[in-house]
């Protein structure tokens, strides 16, 4: 019997030896390695995030102090015109403005590490106390605009994909393109003239009427016009991207097979194409945060909406250095962090992004 096995080339050594325990350990080691690699990547980019914020703080600090204008005008108002040169020098010394820019920055960054961002020259109170009530207003405006933009973008993209090259698709594309190229500040002024001044339907400024901070309905009325400008300025940019991805998906082979099985175009788009495009939509949503955040700055200034963007412009106008620094750092940190999250999301969705990414670090 042994000879038969040897004659036919069979041997116990030729049979594969399966070691399921070792295979399981290898899989566990692979998972641990991937988790460790991801953790290292997150730590590395968080450190880069700190470096970028530091560079941003240096640039803003230097440019703000080199800009023409006297910060004492913000602190003392018109009384500056009646002050003598000795009084002006003493005032600058009390505010720490008589020292070099490098010394001022070192002092500011050391205090910032202890949670002290200085006094607002205009409001005569700690900068963080001035800005903290406004963060919520900006978040409400930005988050609502973000949700509405992508909810409508997906709907418009699906409608265009269902009616490709039809009248409806062409009409939506032309109207969307025209709306995208309308300047946000101009559209805001037009809306104020029509719906606030002429018709009186919506307020033209503020986040709520005096004494109605807790009235949700009143806050919603104040958000209508800013949200219209935000949505009109960003909607078609993302809807067009999603539309093109859906149309590319509709040209793939599995769609022909689905049609052969009797599925309608609507069923294919909703059940198959949209699900396959979902990772791309998530990636687009991740990288859109800086774009929409920048839009809130324009909208807040057009409608005098009390938010971080409006405060940053006001601080730059009045040379309120400490308030400007804090508002810019908060906005910059949000933009850098969202870009960091977007890159991680893209790499998890498409591993090729690890080699070549849309966001370079």
pLDDT at residue 2 tops 60: no
According to DSSP, residue 20 is labeled H
Q: Is residue 23 part of a domain?
A: no
Residue pair 229/188 in contact by the 8 Å Cβ criterion: yes
Query: DSSP assignment of 7-37, as one string?
Result: HTT--GGGS----HHHHHHHHHHHHHHHHHH
**Residue range 285-299, pLDDT digits in tens:** 877 887 887 788 888
pLDDT at residue 5 tops 50: no
**Residue range 244-288, pLDDT digits in tens:** 888 888 888 787 887 778 788 888 888 888 888 887 888 788 778
Q: Is residue 80 part of a domain?
A: no
First to last CA, the chain: 68
Q: State how far the alpha carbon of 41 is from the alpha carbons of 48, 51, 70, 269, 340, in Å.
A: 11, 15, 45, 36, 11
Question: Which structural domain, as residue segments, surrounds residue 306?
Answer: 135-320
For residue 130 the two structure tokens come to: 């001035």
For residue 11 the two structure tokens come to: 């041997």
Q: What is the pLDDT of residue 357?
A: 44
Residue pair 141/230 in contact by the 8 Å Cβ criterion: yes
Q: Is residue 202 part of a domain?
A: yes
What CATH number does the domain containing 277 carry?
1.10.3720.10
Residue pair 230/126 in contact by the 8 Å Cβ criterion: no
Q: Is residue 28 part of a domain?
A: no
> What is the phi/psi pair of residue 356, to 5°?
-130, 110
pLDDT at residue 22 tops 60: no
Q: Is residue 358 part of a domain?
A: no
> What is the phi/psi pair of residue 119, to 5°?
-95, 135
Q: Cα(335)–Cα(257) distance, rounded to whole angstroms?
A: 43
Q: What is the pLDDT of residue 309?
A: 83
Q: Cα(83)–Cα(2) distance, rounded to whole angstroms?
A: 114
Q: Cα(45)–Cα(83) distance, rounded to whole angstroms?
A: 50
Interacting residues of 355 by C-beta distance below 8 A, sequence separation 6+: none
Q: Cα(203)–Cα(224) distance, rounded to whole angstroms?
A: 9
Q: What is the pLDDT of residue 328?
A: 84
Q: Is residue 224 part of a domain?
A: yes
pLDDT at residue 159 tops 70: yes
Assign 356 a pLDDT band (cuts: 50, 70, 90): very low
Q: Is residue 54 part of a domain?
A: no
**Which of 102-106, 109-113, 143-147 ranks highest by mean pLDDT?**
143-147
Q: Is residue 60 part of a domain?
A: no
- Residue 353's nearest CA partner among 290, 288, 251, 280 is 280
**Which of 33-37, 178-182, 225-229, 328-332 ranks highest by mean pLDDT?**
225-229
Q: Cα(239)–Cα(244) distance, rounded to whole angstroms?
A: 9
Interacting residues of 61 by C-beta distance below 8 A, sequence separation 6+: 101, 104, 105, 108, 321, 325
Q: Cα(26)–Cα(177) distance, rounded to whole angstroms?
A: 53
What is the pLDDT averaged over residues 318-344? 81
Q: What is the pLDDT of residue 152?
A: 92
pTM of the model: 0.73
Q: Count of domains in the chain? A: 1
Q: Cα(255)–Cα(272) distance, rounded to whole angstroms?
A: 8
Assign 148 a pLDDT band (cuts: 50, 70, 90): very high
Residue pair 111/325 in contact by the 8 Å Cβ criterion: no
């Amino acid at each position: 019997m042994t000879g038969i096995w040897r004659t036919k080339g069979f041997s116990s050594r030729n049979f594969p030896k399966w070691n399921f325990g070792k295979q399981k350990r290898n899989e566990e080691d692979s998972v641990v390695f991937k988790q460790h690699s991801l953790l290292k990547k997150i730590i590395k980019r968080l450190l880069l995030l700190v470096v970028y914020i530091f560079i941003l703080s240096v640039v803003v600090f230097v440019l703000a102090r080199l800009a023409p204008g006297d910060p004492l005008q913000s602190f003392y108002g018109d009384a500056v015109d009646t002050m003598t040169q000795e009084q002006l020098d003493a005032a600058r010394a009390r505010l720490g403005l008589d020292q070099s820019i490098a010394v001022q920055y070192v002092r500011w960054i050391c205090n910032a590490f202890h949670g002290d961002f200085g006094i607002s020259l205009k409001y005569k109170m700690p900068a963080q106390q001035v800005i903290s009530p406004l963060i919520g207003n900006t978040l409400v405006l930005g988050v609502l605009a973000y949700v509405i933009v992508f909810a409508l973008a997906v709907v418009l993209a699906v409608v265009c994909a269902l009616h490709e090259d039809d009248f409806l698709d062409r009409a939506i594309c032309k109207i969307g393109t025209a709306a995208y190229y309308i300047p946000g500040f101009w559209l805001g002024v037009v809306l104020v003239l029509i719906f606030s001044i002429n018709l009186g339907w919506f307020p033209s400024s503020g986040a709520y009427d005096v004494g109605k901070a807790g009235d949700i309905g009143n806050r919603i009325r104040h958000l209508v016009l800013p949200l219209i400008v935000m949505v009109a300025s960003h909607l078609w940019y993302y809807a067009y991207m999603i539309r093109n991805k859906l149309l590319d998906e509709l040209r793939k082979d599995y769609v022909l097979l689905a049609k052969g099985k009797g599925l309608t175009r609507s069923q294919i788009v909703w059940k198959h194409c949209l699900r396959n495009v979902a990772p791309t939509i998530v990636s687009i949503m991740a990288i859109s945060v800086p774009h929409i955040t920048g839009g809130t700055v324009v909208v807040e200034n057009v409608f005098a909406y009390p938010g971080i963007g409006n405060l940053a412009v006001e601080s730059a106008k009045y040379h309120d250095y400490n308030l400007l620094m804090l508002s810019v750092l908060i906005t910059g940190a949000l933009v850098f962090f969202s870009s960091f999250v977007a890159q991680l999301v893209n790499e998890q969705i498409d591993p090729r992004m690890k080699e070549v990414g849309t966001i370079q670090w």
